[in-house]
Amino acid sequence: MQSAISSPLRRFGPAFAATVLVSVSFSPASAQNAAPPNATATRLVGEWTTLCRTPSLDQITKWLTTNLSDAAAKRVPAQQRARDDVELCTANGGLREMAVKQSEPNTISAVLRGLKSDIWFEKRLEVNAAGQLDRTSLSPTAPLERTLPKDAPVRTWNRVGLQQCRAGVGGSNCGAGVG
């Protein structure tokens, strides 16, 4: 039988596995039977990314309804979140996990890349004490340095920035003069 974190671990790779192992190895003795601190957040980001690869409003709404905390659902209802997620996922052809940027108890921040758009994002998920999804955020981010050619000219960065601006996700980097 698979553990709750085995599937996301395969996707996130060795870097994430090391983070989880370090987290577990420094756990107090009273928490030995508890799941690793970020196991729920890790599972949720993996599930969300899988749903994003074949976006369905019904499936994402159902997933959000099941996983959102009451407080999160009051801030932004599951139906609105699902519409936004389907739009994002469809525009990018789904998203692929590229790395774990930060892992804390109850929080995970993953670097994602659009499968068709090649646009990079940071997805942050925070769960409450009950293991329910409490806060989420998504923002554009720079490509991971390890994914760039060693001799990548400035043009490469400009092209990536231009793609993000044209897609409406470049934020404050999309000033005057961006075509």
Per-residue pLDDT, 74: 97
The total of other beta-carbon atoms located within 10 Å of residue 179's CB is 5
For 141, residues 6+ apart whose C-beta sits below 8 A from its C-beta are 111, 120, 121, 122
SS3 content of the chain, % helix, strand, coil (to 5): 50, 20, 30
Rounded Cα gap, residues 119 and 112, in angstroms? 8
Domains of the chain are 6-147 (3.10.450.280), 149-179 (no CATH)
Predicted confidence at residue 13, as pLDDT, reads 41
pLDDT at site 166? 65
CA atoms within 13 A on the CB side of 5: 18
Task: Tell which residue, 88, 82, 131, has the closest CA to residue 112.
Answer: 88
Q: How far is it, in rounded angstroms, from Cα 165 to Cα 179? A: 8
- pLDDT at 49 (0 to 100): 95
What pTM does this model have? Answer: 0.64
pLDDT by residue, tens only, the chain of 179 residues: 444 444 443 444 433 333 333 333 333 333 333 344 468 888 999 999 999 999 999 999 999 999 999 999 999 999 999 999 999 999 999 999 999 999 888 999 999 999 999 999 999 999 999 999 999 999 999 998 888 877 765 555 555 666 666 666 655 555 444 33
Predicted local confidence at residue 91, as pLDDT:
96
Which two tokens mark 114? 């659009």
